[in-house]
Structure 1
Amino acid sequence: MTEPDARSRDVLEQVPEGVRDALGLRRARELTGGGTPARVYRCEDGDGDAVVVKVLRAGAGAVDGHDLGSFLRKPAQIARIHRELPALSPYYVPLVGHWQGPDWGAYAMPWIDGASPVTLLRDGDPGRQRFLAALRSVFGILGTHGYSASSVPAPPGHGLGTHAGRLARRLPLLTEHLGPLTDGTDLRVNGRPVPSAHELLRRTAAREDVLAALQPPRLYFPVHGDLNLGNLMLRAADAPGSRHGLDPDRQFTVVDPRGIDEHWDPVYDAAKALFSLTLFDAAMTGGFEIGRDATGGYDVRLRRPVPAHSAAAAEVPATLATVGFFRRLGHGDPLWLRRLLYAHAFHVLAEAACRLSDRTVRTFPGATGPAARRELALGLHLSGLLLLDDLLSGPAEPEADPAAHLACLATVHGPATACPLPG
């Protein structure tokens, strides 16, 4: 989330009255830059403390995970972490309060003075080393004090349903907005033939080796479920605490879980972190350049690629493999690194529909509001097709060289002419 501009107007009236009264709020500024359909406000309470209030109102077109039901489970998941995982609790954002109306929900948490780990990547090679060290530390703590708390056998079909099933559920929304791109016709993307999402789903379900990779043997304590790197806030060791219970000796704080109450696959969280580096963060700030080439195919690339993010992304799988929890995971789950790459590809494809469900106002060159959301959805959809096709048609062990797999995102075909956005 981005710190509100000091010149932005007070929007306290947008915060539900019951929340304003309960917290004694005096002013509110809307935060921007996240990937949520909720409205997020930095508020000042009656004691002068900064609190963040998230408000989601029910609406049509909300995909699963962005719906009001999932949102209302977030406070319960946070409360469960603090109640059942005392060793992880100091690393997890505390709740200030939560509320529910007939068609809305809200919860509040302290303002965290911190920054995403990706900010470390601005400092060249030393920054990348610090970033990877931070990643090892964070996932080490989440594994030791969180995921490992309990586990259950994964039910049959869990992997296929979680990844391919989620995309299948979201395809109707993509079809509504992207039309022919999702009608089953094969495409050309960045100069290479790529099957449609429907065909890739069919091939996924027909491949025993892919089904084996997607299926985790066990599921673990639901620590998060949406762990993009923006949901990890690194804090200085001497950062001040607050009356809401933040521990000044803890160097990171986890925020904004998915809202799940059942055991989960930690590899899903790791894939979300990888997605932050490959596409999500850069796309949300700069969007995509999308064009049509002379053959009628599509060219897609990030408008503002961040080479430091791409370089770090290629090192994430090997880095996680050195973390105690994931190192032990490999003994009974030898295909987890392959599942990480598949989960990442499915995250990209599924996130395309999330961008259509998002109501955040964004502005890119030549596109704002709904047009900017369609640009993000189209760019992610085309990128996701590249990634999943590369896994299904490429080497049998893509985890042996993740950099080669992820390089399909950086391929530039061109020249291309600007592509009119659908809608």
Structure 2
Amino acid sequence: MLAFSLSSSVALNLFGGKKPGRGTLYSDITQTIGNTPVVKISDKLNPYPVDVYAKCEFFNPLASVKDRLALAIIQDAEERGALKPGDTVVEATSGNTGIAVAMVCAQRGYDCVICMAEPFSVERRRLMRMLGAKVIVTPKAGKGTGMVRKAEELCAKHGWFLCHQFENEANWKFHEATTGPEILTDFSGKKLDYWVTGYGTGGTFNGAGRALKKERPDLKIILAEPEDAGLLASGIPTERLADGAPAGSHPAFKPHPIQGWTPDFIPKVLDDAPDQLNDELVPIPAASAIATAKALAAKEGLLTGISGGGTMWAALETAKTAPEGSVILAMLPDTGERYLSTPLFADIEADMNEEELEIATSTPSFQLVPGKEPVLAA
């Protein structure tokens, strides 16, 4: 029988030289939100003479950057007295915000209703329901504005609390107080020349961008949006209602597979960012976003969604022309497991392929070959 043991020095090396454990006990799950790690991308994916890093937001407890948003909005509403015990919380979302809101509501004891347009991945609906939320699916023809209108109707009729993720300034302020300072701390005493992010609500870009530019004014911020839905690139503003919500669908919007990015309007949280906060706007081809997300998984072991792939593609495009020795940080907003029913996994089979079957039959026992009787012991 083989026996294995680890010396204390080897164990410390496994933890990057740190002692195991966090050194603290948490009173609830929301206290684990934030302080996500930054990981270097190897030359398998980044062959350029620059350093590329990824901030892995899937380390948040519900595996996306939107955990920050949900906690920010609900905490702010509680502090203002706008949200009280027994209330129902409502939000319109492509999924990650709804999952995060459902998590915070479960922890706080609020009822939760999520409005979500039909095209978004079904696994997101099931996760929200697992967390105790009610999910109202709206017709795909209504796009993002349709699910927003439905959420507004429900709140008007029932007196429920609407998160207003696309308009709520608590969103970007939380990123200014957490995400930006985390990056500054991790790069303290080190170079950081470019920061790359996409936008869903615009909260990460607006809030973290403010914090980064304040301390490092020479930092270049690269903002990405889908090539198929170039709302910012069009130069056409979104018409708004009195509360800042969109009055209708943006004329430049087209359906795109980068879920969580760029609804069919320009969010007010994004519009509220300081002028010229971004130094460059990069259009992301859908196929490149998907291919890069797959490459991150297969070459780096980083399982992120299509939005993460899109952001990393923009970072690697930046790396091609950045001065030698530059340092680039890209945001990875969520986990790839949110995309099992999307184009990201379209060619990932559940059954064994020919190569796998060849490996399986290379030894005689425990074979499960299609069209043949299962083999246990040879």
TM-score calculated relative to the size of structure 1: 0.26
TM-score (norm 2): 0.29
Give 1 or 2 for the bigger CA radius of gyration: 2
